[in-house]
């Protein structure tokens, strides 16, 4: 497998030993079947109900097909008509003409010397208000029936204009007879201009414009106070509302709204009968016509769906068994924790598909292409295995063709199945061996491009839809890939933390030299840093040779000796310009210092919250190996002092534990090999090969590989790979047979 699942304490998820429990495994497999069953049940199982006439329904009953609802249609039409706002129309009254008639009458009457002042006042008091009414009535008569305005509008206009008629103050009528013809001419010009300007706006209330008259008159050319006062009153008198409720237009609009109201239909999936509703005869007959009445029990569809779900599980479990055979595992190549993670990925992917399916309609079936169907495949690639992702892609494609089927008459709509398969495969190939989180976005873009291309190909092969639908379909397919990338980026940390997953992306982040611990290793113990890098190169090559996680070995090697930063001078690779301090201290103390670096390293890694697989490598790379040098030194000192040793070989062993994984064992071998090669001056290839086999044989005989499942065949591959890698790294230092013979001849 491409990724390494951390072996966290079993208490994290509940009971001890659950990761390898057969009962838990079968429970998880059963949950797979149930997940498939309930995901597909709403789409493939016919719904029937045990309904009795006259009784209340005990559940909601949904329509299996569309049906016209006349009653709801009539109600919808009434609602649409009520939503139409009242409509108003402008009537061009041209009240300037009325004003001109008033001024003409004033000029005529004021020049008549036979009429007394009192009579003139009385005439103005009676005629001017009547002229307003007569003008309105005449306007109605002239426009009635000519098609310019409808009768109801003219009637409304006449009523509103008369209601808003302005009442001229009494004192104004006494001022009017005193006006000369010249004054009237100037006043008429100003009054007509003001009325024309204010009536240019639409007015429902005349008073709104009348309040602006005084300001305009004061700004006019009239200088006499009396003239300005009379012009103000006459302008207010002539100003009329010109915007009126058009009842006929409003009624026409409401009729049009009713006509444009679409037919109300009970769509597929809509609730026909709500829980608690009484089953009337009409409802009963309608349910019968839909085939929703349960006349007899039929369990065959349920059995068929269960078998269908079981086949999905067989496909998945078959691959797990194949992985077991290839990996040499006991039951499957996957722990229960990994199977649980796979189940959760399936659940999230199917949940996302169902969420999108809820927004899908018969009129907009292309919404289904928005579903992030490649999300599951991408997560499986990064967290579990590429081959398992390919197998899962077929499962997701088949399920997608059922879930997004909007009524093609068949169980499957392979338009969606084909697109799901294409985007999943595109994402798998794009994200395979991803080493940066930006690769997820690139994989999402690839899924977008291939998804859009597959959808376009399907549309062009069939009946080409309208341009809008075509663009929307391709756009939804393109957006699906981007949505997939966003979801995967968001979900990756959740799986990494919850299941202790050390993904390739996380490993690459940890290998950054700017990590605080690696900076500390480089600045405080440069010799150990160089040693760790060399061990990383060796262990990665060896791990990949046997199918283990090479990237984990490399990154684990970077941190495996981090504990040496606590006492750097006591380790030989850091002793460059000073004497070895072990020469002057007790070998027991030296042993304690050397052994402590593994424990110290684990503590430092814990403090910096590095994942457990990295900590395991730091803790286990020495296993329980024997510190021969210090043991023999301590024995020699005891002999020289003439005392019996108060220690045994077990006291000079690392505390362990032994390597629990192949990766930890490989790092331990590479650590010893690198140190041995570094200590050799001008080694030959034969010496390097002999040294590697000696180290591996020594660890094998010391039972250091008993708990990590390394086979003899794999150890041989590791030896061969280490030899080839060392020759490549230390090429300039290794003497070849020709060089040895040349030196012998010179000697």
Which SS3 state, helix, strand or coil, does residue 278 take?
A: strand
- Distance, CA of 597 to chain centre: 45
Which SS3 state, helix, strand or coil, does residue 502 take?
A: strand
Question: For residue 285, is it within any domain?
Answer: no
Looking at residue 534, what is its pLDDT? 92
Looking at residue 410, what is its pLDDT? 67
Q: Judge contact between 713 and 696, C-beta under 8 A.
A: no
Among 492-501, 545-554, 670-679, the minimum mean pLDDT is found in 492-501
Instruction: For residue 356, give the H/E element and its range.
Output: helix 336-358
Q: Specify whether 337 is located in the same domain as 448.
A: yes
Count of beta carbons in the 10 Å neighbourhood of residue 184: 20
Is-above-0.75 flag for pTM? no
Q: Specify whether 491 is located in the same domain as 630.
A: no
Which SS3 state, helix, strand or coil, does residue 56 take?
A: strand
Two tokens at 70? 């006349």
**Would you say residue 88 has pLDDT above 60?**
yes
Q: What is the mean pLDDT of residues 498-521?
A: 83
The answer to whether the Cα torsion of 664, 669, 671, 672 is positive or negative is: positive
Which domain CATH number covers 657?
1.10.3210
Q: Specify whether 195 is located in the same domain as 221.
A: yes
Q: Specify whether 710 is located in the same domain as 568.
A: yes
- State pLDDT tens for residues 219-257: 888 888 898 999 999 999 999 998 888 888 889 898 998
Two tokens at 693? 């086999």
Two tokens at 599? 């424990």
Q: Specify whether 138 is located in the same domain as 239.
A: yes
Q: What is the mean pLDDT of residues 68-72?
A: 68
Concatenated DSSP letters of 503-560: -HHHHHHHT-TTSHHHHHHHHH-HHHHHHHHHHHHHHHHHHHHTTS-HHHHHHHHHHT
Strand-pairing partners, residue 529, are none
Q: Specify whether 319 is located in the same domain as 410.
A: yes
Question: For residue 499, is it within any domain?
Answer: yes
Round to whole Å and give the CA distance between 178 and 560: 116
Of the three residues 505, 540, 557, the one that is the final residue of a domain is: 505
Question: For residue 74, is it within any domain?
Answer: no
Strand-pairing partners, residue 88, are 245
Q: What is the mean pLDDT of residues 70-95?
A: 85
Q: Specify whether 519 is located in the same domain as 499.
A: no
Question: For residue 268, is it within any domain?
Answer: no
- Residue from 510, 611, 53, 77 nearest 287 by CA: 53
- State pLDDT tens for residues 527-541: 888 989 999 999 999
Q: Specify whether 674 is located in the same domain as 605.
A: yes
Residues 6 or more apart from 448 whose CB is under 8 A from it?
Answer: 477, 478, 479, 480, 481, 482
Count of beta carbons in the 10 Å neighbourhood of residue 720: 14
Of the three residues 470, 505, 540, the one that is the final residue of a domain is: 505
Two tokens at 376? 């599951």
Please give the angle made by the CA atoms of 123, 125 and 128, to the nearest 5 degrees.
85
Give the count of domains, the chain: 3
Residue 170, phi then psi, degrees to nearest 5: -60, -40
- State pLDDT tens for residues 157-215: 899 999 989 999 999 989 899 888 888 899 999 999 999 999 888 888 989 888 999 99
Question: For residue 279, is it within any domain?
Answer: no
Two tokens at 8? 């966290």
Among 461-470, 526-535, 692-701, the minimum mean pLDDT is found in 461-470
Task: For tokens 């292409």, name the residue.
Answer: 369
**Would you say residue 726 has pLDDT above 50?**
yes
Q: Specify whether 536 is located in the same domain as 480.
A: no
Q: What is the mean pLDDT of residues 292-303?
A: 71
Round to whole Å and give the CA distance between 444 and 422: 12
**Would you say residue 573 has pLDDT above 80?**
no
Concatenated DSSP letters of 646-689: S--GGGGB---PPP-SHHHHHHHHHHHHHHHHHHSSS-BHHHHH
Residue 542, phi then psi, degrees to nearest 5: -65, -40
Looking at residue 386, what is its pLDDT? 86
Q: Specify whether 443 is located in the same domain as 544.
A: no
Q: What is the mean pLDDT of residues 455-483?
A: 87
Q: Specify whether 610 is located in the same domain as 720.
A: yes
Of the three residues 245, 269, 286, the one that is the final residue of a domain is: 245
Q: Please state whether 516 falls in left (phi above 0), alpha (psi between -120 and 50) or beta.
A: alpha
- Residue from 342, 309, 349, 347 nearest 323 by CA: 342
Two tokens at 198? 């204010």
Count of beta carbons in the 10 Å neighbourhood of residue 644: 7
Question: For residue 468, is it within any domain?
Answer: yes
What Rg do the C-alpha atoms of the chain give, in angstroms?
Answer: 47
Looking at residue 594, what is its pLDDT? 85
Looking at residue 353, what is its pLDDT? 92
**Would you say residue 2 has pLDDT above 50?**
no
Tell me the residue range of the domain where 444 lies: 4-43+300-505
Looking at residue 57, what is its pLDDT? 77
Question: For residue 61, is it within any domain?
Answer: no
Question: For residue 51, is it within any domain?
Answer: no
**Would you say residue 605 has pLDDT above 60?**
yes
Q: Specify whether 443 is located in the same domain as 375.
A: yes
Q: Judge contact between 50 and 295, C-beta under 8 A.
A: no
Which domain CATH number covers 314?
1.10.1760.20
- Residue from 201, 196, 197, 202 nearest 245 by CA: 202
Average pLDDT, the chain: 83
């Amino acid at each position: 497998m491409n990724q390494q699942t951390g072996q966290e304490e079993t208490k994290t998820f509940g009971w001890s030993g659950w990761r390898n429990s057969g009962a838990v495994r079968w429970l998880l497999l059963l949950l797979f079947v149930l997940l498939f069953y309930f995901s597909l049940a709403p789409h493939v199982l016919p719904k029937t109900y045990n309904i009795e006439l006259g009784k209340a329904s005990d559940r909601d009953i949904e329509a299996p097909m569309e049906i016209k609802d006349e009653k709801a249609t009539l109600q919808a039409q009434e609602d649409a008509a009520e939503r139409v706002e009242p409509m108003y129309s402008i009537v061009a009254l041209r009240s300037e003409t009325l004003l001109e008639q008033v001024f003409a009458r004033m000029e005529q009457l004021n020049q008549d010397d036979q009429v007394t002042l009192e009579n003139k006042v009385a005439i103005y008091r009676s005629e001017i208000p009547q002229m307003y009414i007569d003008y309105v009535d005449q306007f109605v008569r002239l426009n009635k029936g000519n098609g310019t305005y409808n009768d109801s509008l003219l009637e409304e206009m006449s009523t509103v204009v008369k209601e808003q008629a302005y009442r001229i103050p009494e004192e104004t009528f006494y001022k009017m007879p005193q006006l000369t013809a010249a004054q009237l001419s100037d006043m008429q010009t100003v009054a007509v201009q003001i009325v024309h300007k204010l009536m240019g706006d639409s007015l429902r209330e005349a008073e709104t414009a009348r309040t602006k008259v005084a300001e305009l008159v004061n700004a006019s050319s009239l200088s006499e106070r009396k003239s300005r006062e009379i012009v103000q009153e006459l302008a207010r008198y002539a100003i009329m509302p010109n915007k009126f409720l058009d009842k006929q237009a409003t009624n026409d609009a409401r009729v049009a709204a009713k006509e444009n109201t679409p037919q109300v239909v009970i769509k597929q999936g809509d609730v026909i009968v709500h829980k608690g509703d009484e089953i009337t005869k009409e409802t009963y007959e309608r349910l019968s016509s839909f085939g929703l009445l349960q006349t007899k029990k039929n369990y065959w569809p349920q059995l068929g769906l269960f078998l269908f779900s079981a086949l999905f599980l067989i496909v998945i479990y078959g691959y797990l068994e194949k992985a077991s055979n290839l990996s040499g595992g006991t039951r499957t190549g996957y722990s229960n924790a990994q199977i649980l993670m796979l189940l959760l990925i399936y659940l999230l992917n199917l949940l996302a598909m169902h969420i999108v399916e809820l927004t899908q309609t018969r009129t907009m079936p292309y919404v289904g292409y928005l579903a992030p169907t490649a999300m599951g495949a991408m997560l499986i690639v990064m967290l579990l295995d590429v081959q398992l992702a390919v197998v899962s892609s077929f499962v997701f494609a088949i399920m997608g063709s059922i879930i997004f089927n909007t009524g093609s008459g068949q169980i499957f709509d392979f338009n969606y199945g084909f697109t799901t398969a294409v985007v999943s495969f595109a994402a798998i190939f794009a994200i395979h061996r991803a080493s940066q989180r930006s690769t997820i976005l690139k994989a999402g873009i690839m899924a977008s491009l291939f998804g859009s291309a597959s959808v376009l190909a399907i549309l062009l092969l069939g009946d080409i839809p309208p341009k809008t639908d075509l663009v929307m379909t391709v756009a939804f397919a393109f957006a699906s890939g981007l949505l997939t990338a966003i979801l995967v980026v968001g979900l990756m940390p959740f799986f990494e933390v919850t299941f202790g997953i050390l993904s390739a992306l996380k490993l690459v982040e940890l290998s950054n030299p700017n990590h605080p611990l690696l900076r500390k290793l480089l600045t405080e113990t440069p010799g150990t840093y160089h040693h760790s890098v060399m061990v990383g190169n060796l262990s990665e090559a060896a791990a990949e040779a046997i199918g283990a996680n090479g990237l984990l070995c490399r990154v684990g090697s970077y941190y495996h000796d981090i504990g040496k930063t606590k006492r750097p001078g006591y380790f030989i690779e850091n002793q460059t310009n000073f004497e070895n301090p072990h020469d002057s201290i007790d070998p027991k103390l030296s042993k304690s210092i050397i052994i402590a670096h593994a424990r110290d390293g684990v503590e430092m890694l814990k403090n910096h919250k590095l994942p457990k697989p990295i900590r395991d490598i730091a803790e286990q790379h020495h296993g329980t190996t024997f510190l021969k040098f210090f043991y023999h030194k301590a024995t020699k000192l005891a002999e020289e002092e003439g005392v019996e040793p108060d220690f045994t070989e077990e006291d000079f062993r690392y505390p362990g534990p032994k390597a629990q994984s192949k990766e930890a064992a490989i790092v331990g071998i590479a650590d010893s090999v690198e140190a041995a090669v570094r200590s050799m001056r001008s080694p030959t290839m034969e010496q390097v090969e002999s040294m590697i086999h000696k180290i591996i044989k020594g660890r094998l005989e010391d039972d250091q590989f008993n708990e990590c499942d390394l086979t003899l065949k794999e150890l041989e591959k590791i030896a061969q790979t280490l030899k080839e890698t060392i020759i490549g790294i230390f090429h300039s230092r290794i003497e070849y047979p020709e060089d040895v013979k040349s030196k012998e001849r010179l000697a």
